[in-house]
Amino acid sequence: MKQMFCVGNWKMNPSTARDAFRLAEAIAEKTKVYTRVTTVLCPPFPFLAHLSSLSVTLGAQDCHTEQKGAFTGEVSPAMLKDQGCRYVVLGHSERGETDQMVKEKVRAAVRVGLVPIICVGEEKPGTPDVLQERLRLRLEGIPAQTLSKSIIVYEPVWAISTTKEGRGASEKDVSSALLLFHSFLEEEVGQRLGSAIPILYGGSVNEKNILSFLRAGAQGALVGGASLSPKEFGSIASSMQLYEHI
């Protein structure tokens, strides 16, 4: 059975370091038994150092393309590594970045040993051609050695809980999108490397719908809103632990 990934994107939450610590502690307690699941928490930058004493795997929500220099307000991959991060979410639609920018960030992250979690998704439902093109624009040309050290997330913009449409994709939507992802990756980096790249789903994942995304073939999930509830996030991780068909 494959390793699963349960990634919590806390976005700009919670408001204090103290609450962040409590939340991470409660999640660690709920998820520590799920050995098949790599649980990654991605808090806001200022909380990373506060959480490094806990036994949680940390990720960041973004990084810069350079490792140091005159870039006011930015945080480099090397700094994240130093703070104990192992993963970094890149290209989240809420950041509105260009595909070129995302590619450069992916390279910079892998250079220091971070695992990029790259978001790719279309703006409107029922537009597979747009999704195919987005995949190409966002991932084409990233060296095979770099892409094979990454995790990809199919995250349709319209499925994110805070958007206007704000409903999760259906099992069918996700399984047809994942087919596109698999064939793109295998063409890009070859069958052996391509089939080993984990592909997750993100967008309104909760404890009730997680199974449908696993059935669609996702090797885990990027979870926004539901990652702020230890109970719900723990229950999502538990479904991943128990899912036997991947």
d(CA 142, CA 111): 13
Contacts for 147 with CB less than 8 Å, ≥ 6 apart:
106, 139, 185, 188, 189, 193, 197
Identify which of residues 85 and 222 has a Cβ nearer to ligand PEP in the complex: 222
6 binds ligand PEP (CB under 6 A): no
Could you confirm whether 186 is annotated as catalytic?
no
> Per CB under 6 A, which of residues 24..53 are in contact with ligand PEP?
none
Per-residue contact flags (x/-) with ligand PEP for residues 195 to 224, judged by CB under 6 A: -------xxxx----------------xxx
d(CA 4, CA 221): 8
For residue 217, how many other CB atoms are within 10 A of its CB? 19
Catalytic residue among 92, 122, 171, 188, which?
92
77 binds ligand PEP (CB under 6 A): no
Could you confirm whether 133 is annotated as catalytic?
no
Q: How far is CA 104 from CA 21, 35, 109, in A?
A: 32, 33, 9
Per-residue contact flags (x/-) with ligand PEP for residues 141 to 180, judged by CB under 6 A: --------------x----xxx------------------
| Contact between 193 and 130 (Cβ < 8 Å) | no
**Residues within the interface to ligand PEP (CB under 6 A):** 9, 92, 155, 160-162, 202-205, 222-226
